[in-house]
Amino acid sequence: MASLRELQGAFAAALRDPAAACAVLPPANMSVYRNNASVTFRETLAHTFPVVHRRVGDDYFRQLAVLYRAGFPSSSGDLHGFGRDFPAFLAEYLDGGDYAWLADLARLEWLRAECSVEKTVSALGAEALGNYASAELERLEFALQPSLRLHSSSYPVFTVWQANQSENASPVDQSTGNEQGMVLARDDGPELASLAPRLFSFLSALQSRATLGDAMTTAGFGEQELLEALAFLFRQGMVCGLSVRAPA
Amino acid sequence: MSHLDTGANLEPIPARAGIGFRAAHHEALLAELPPVGFIEAHTENYFHEGGAAVRALLRARANYALSLHGVGLGLGSADGVDREHLARVRRAVQRFEPALISEHACWGHAGGEYFNDLLPLPYTEEAARVLARQVSETQDFLGRQLLIENVSAYVTFADSQLTEWDFLGEVVARSGCGLLLDVNNVYVSAGNLGLDARAFIAGLPRAAVREIHLAGHARNGAVLIDNHGSPVCEAVWDLYCHAIARFGPVPTLIEWDTDIPPLATLVAESARADQLLKDCRGLAA
């Protein structure tokens, strides 16, 4: 008699290939399991990438889901991570074509999916800066909300995402150029917003634990711009912690 | 076999009808707090630290007894159980303190690929040993008893030696787990594979059944499909009456996962199960 491992291996092969031998009865009903798997994966992908789905339509999305699953089969009993490689798959599949921007849109939607299950930490108010001496301010490091995701694209993907929150949205002119922005958890779901390039650079630097002084230099901020950026961070509830880096 | 915490020291789940805790109903359930006996949530949906679903369950948990129902461990997989997945189940159990914890008598992965489906096991002595061992290890890791659910099947393995009910009985005897009897799954499998649904129920170890599931199914040609997308059909209600006559009044869940109706429809289905449980208690008195 075949071992359990052999029986499950044959069943798995028959799920991938209808022509593979598998000693089950009635054999025709294996199609139910094959269909279950393809529908589950496609629906999971469509749930995670609703705007990509909307832009390409049902038929093309179905083809993409089949190709993606063939290259990136599920590696977990938890489906929440199933779309992780979809942006990279699209980038390779659409490389250089007119629809290459869809990969960047997918990256934004994956960041949104990640953000939607992150915890939100109590935010500090701007008055927390008052706890530090003037000389310490440039060596301040910021702990930002764990849900904050930053995304920079060569395409106007934030505009595409926003425009496609309703059906029958008009196509966005991709030649309008690059966009940068953020995704941040709110009580009613992730919020997406595009950011000015220098504010994006400033936030990126702080998120990678640059000091306030270094982030200011990276962004090319003057004093007034710095004050406005800090007011934005605190107003958005992004700052969860402050600490002073020891002098080098 | 070590003594397993059955969860009875937590707020126990009453022998009443409950409903699945699904995202489409979070808002309405928390606003209306309908008089259902308990709620059941899919464990994998609460693996993350934050998010709307986690916040909703934490709020609901303050008002309802909870059952956590897993779909992703693949406890009968010959390749073993994913330890990382199991650790996340334990984290969810510690965080939400469910009175019942359940999974399925199935497998779901082979050769590193996950099919994310409840795949049927061959009913062999080896499969019973593997499933019982992995159920035991899971129970030891969680420090809690598991309930194992019979799955809907569309095929049976030519190599099967045991009936499904004897197979489940052997897993119970070897591991000390309980059973979650899905009456709709019995009906669907019986229809698809030519089994006797009443013999299935008669063959299960009586004291092991600690929860029952009810759901709707669809018909696709000659095949019954377990889609949880419609009301419980009359034949399944009849089989349910037969089951509680044998097992007594046990917590009963109405599952509805596709084409989800308004909350009131689900609550009405649970009220029907509640009445049958009440009648069952009356007969036993």
User: CA of A20, closest CA in chain B: separation in Å?
Assistant: 15
Q: Do A80 and B44 touch (CB under 8 A)?
A: yes
Q: What's the maximum distance between 2 C-alpha atoms anywhere in chain A?
A: 78
Does pLDDT of A1 surpass 90?
A: no
**Contact, A176 vs A157, CB < 8 A?**
no
Q: Which residues of B touch A23 (CB under 8 A)?
A: 157-159
Q: Which site among B115, B134, B192 would you substitute to test the A interface, given the most A Cβ atoms closer than 10 Å to its Cβ?
A: B115
Does pLDDT of B2 surpass 60?
A: no
Does pLDDT of B284 surpass 70?
A: no
Count contacts between A and B (CB, < 8 Å): 126
Which run of H or of E encompasses A214? helix A212-219
Burial (CB count within 10 angstroms: exposed 0-12, middle 13-18, buried 19+), residue A76? middle
Q: How confident is the model at residue B39 (pLDDT cuts 50, 70, 90)?
A: very high
Amino acid at B251: P
Residues in Cβ contact with A126 at an 8 Å cutoff, skipping those fewer than 6 apart: A230, A231, A234
pLDDT at A180: 98
Helix, strand or coil for residue A49?
coil
pLDDT at B285: 57
Q: Which of B13, B118, B18, B125 is nearest to B71 (CA)?
A: B118
* pLDDT tens profile B208-241: 999 999 999 999 999 999 999 999 999 999 999 9
Considering only alpha carbons, which residue of chain A is nearest residue B51? A117
Q: Which residues of B touch A32 (CB under 8 A)?
A: 154, 220, 223, 225
Q: Do A33 and B117 touch (CB under 8 A)?
A: yes
Written as one string, the DSSP assignment of chain B is: ----B-STTSSPPPSSEEEE--GGGHHHHHHH----S-EEEEGGGG-SSSSHHHHHHHHHHTTS-EEEE--S--TT-TT---HHHHHHHHHHHHHH--SEEEEES-EEEETTEEEEEEEPPP-SHHHHHHHHHHHHHHHHHHTBPPEEEPPP-S-EETT--S-HHHHHHHHHHHH--EEEEEHHHHHHHHHHHT--HHHHHHHS-GGGEEEEEEE--EEETTEEE----SPPPHHHHHHHHHHHHHH-S--EEEE--SS---HHHHHHHHHHHHHHHHHHHHHH-
Closest CB to B225: pick one of A2, A32, A80: A32
Q: Do B85 and A78 touch (CB under 8 A)?
A: yes
User: CA of A7, closest CA in chain B: separation in Å?
Assistant: 8
Rounded to whole angstroms, the Cα distance separating A138 from A84 reads: 37
Helix, strand or coil for residue A150?
strand
- Per-residue pLDDT averaged across B158-180, rounded? 98
Q: Which residues of B touch A29 (CB under 8 A)?
A: 154-155, 192, 223
* pLDDT tens profile A123-157: 999 999 999 999 999 999 999 999 999 999 999 99
Q: Do B156 and A33 touch (CB under 8 A)?
A: no
Amino acid at B91: R
Question: ipTM of this model?
Answer: 0.95
* pLDDT tens profile A34-84: 999 999 999 999 999 999 999 999 999 999 999 999 999 999 999 999 999
Q: B17-284, what's its fold? A: TIM Barrel (3.20.20)
Closest CB to A12: pick one of B47, B71, B113: B113
Does pLDDT of B46 surpass 70?
A: yes
* Ramachandran quadrant class, B4 (left: phi over 0; alpha: psi -120 to 50; beta: rest): beta
**Contact, B32 vs B59, CB < 8 A?**
no
* pLDDT tens profile B239-253: 999 999 999 999 999
* pLDDT tens profile B260-269: 999 999 999 9
Q: Do B109 and A9 touch (CB under 8 A)?
A: no
Q: Do A40 and B116 touch (CB under 8 A)?
A: yes
pLDDT at B1: 46
Q: Do A25 and B44 touch (CB under 8 A)?
A: no
pLDDT at B282: 79
Rounded to whole angstroms, the Cα distance separating B169 from B175 reads: 10
Q: Do B79 and A5 touch (CB under 8 A)?
A: yes
Give the residue extent of every domain in chain B: 17-284
